[in-house]
Amino acid sequence: MISKAQIKKIASYKEAKFRNQDKVFIVEGVKMVDELINSAFEIEFICALPQWIEANKAIYKRAKNILELREEDLKKLSTMKSPNQVLAVVKQQTPKEIILEDRLVIVLDQIKDPGNLGTIIRLSHWFGIEDIICSENSVDIYNPKTIQSTMGSFFRVNITYTNLKKYLKSLPKTYPVYCSVLEGGKNIYNETLSSQGLIVIGSESHGISKEVLSEATHLIKIPNFAKGSKAESLNASIAAGIIISEFKRR
């Protein structure tokens, strides 16, 4: 049975400070833990209701420790409105080196909303994009809301954080860097798009920073087809979905 000290420790991982201190993060719910079990991530321990443990005895091959808890304990630990049977504490992984040749890579600049980041990870996985590069001031990938909104795709996509200005400057001048903008870009539906390159998406409130835009080789935009008064800017994850789909369609 889980102890009060363990409950307090796990609950602290809702905050980035404590997650990063112990190099762990939280995964919640039956579906997410199922995805976790089939991934290469190292599981520190699993906290679950007795019925889940009884139905998933094979988990003993993957987890170092399995802690039984009561529903009231799960509610204390969960970040979900309706806690779902099981919660895991997982070791953070060191990102893999990104290979740029013959592939598309998503670059996210100043993305602040955890749901947007999670959805973009999910979209990337769907379209076969293996790598995402985030600016250092983007939302934490290990934010529980981000992890949850990926619906398991988090375990299949390599995600790294870096200084985008320095990273882009280090690339060969001929390497394609497509920046999505609201004004001044070329209509994505009319452009010849490469099968390799970086696709840069900015936040819907601030867009792409000037420092990053200065390194662009191509400025592209999703045209606004609204008649009369223009529609508001697109949600970052919706824009990412449209752009990635167009690249992959060619």
Residue 25: CATH number of its domain: 3.30.1330.30
Q: Is residue 181 one of the residues assigned to a domain?
A: yes
Same domain assignment for residues 74 and 150 = no
Contact criterion met (CB below 8 Å) for 198 and 103: no
Domain-ending residue, one of 67, 91, 115: 91
Six-digit token pair at 28?
């919640």
- Structural domain boundaries, residue 143: 104-249
Q: Is residue 98 one of the residues assigned to a domain?
A: no
Domain-ending residue, one of 70, 91, 112: 91
pTM for this predicted structure: 0.92
Same domain assignment for residues 70 and 160 = no
Contacts of 130 (CB under 8 A, 6+ apart): 103, 124, 157, 158
Rounded Cα distance between 39 and 248, Å, is: 26
Same domain assignment for residues 151 and 219 = yes
Please count the structural domains in the chain.
2
- Position 229 scores a pLDDT of 65
Same domain assignment for residues 85 and 121 = no
- Position 80 scores a pLDDT of 85
Q: Is residue 99 one of the residues assigned to a domain?
A: no
Q: Split the chain (250 residues) into runs of 10 and give each run's mean pLDDT.
A: 90 95 96 93 94 88 87 90 90 93 96 96 97 97 95 96 96 95 94 96 91 96 82 88 94
- Position 103 scores a pLDDT of 94
Same domain assignment for residues 64 and 29 = yes
Q: Is residue 205 one of the residues assigned to a domain?
A: yes
Six-digit token pair at 98?
């990104």
Residue 181: CATH number of its domain: 3.40.1280.10
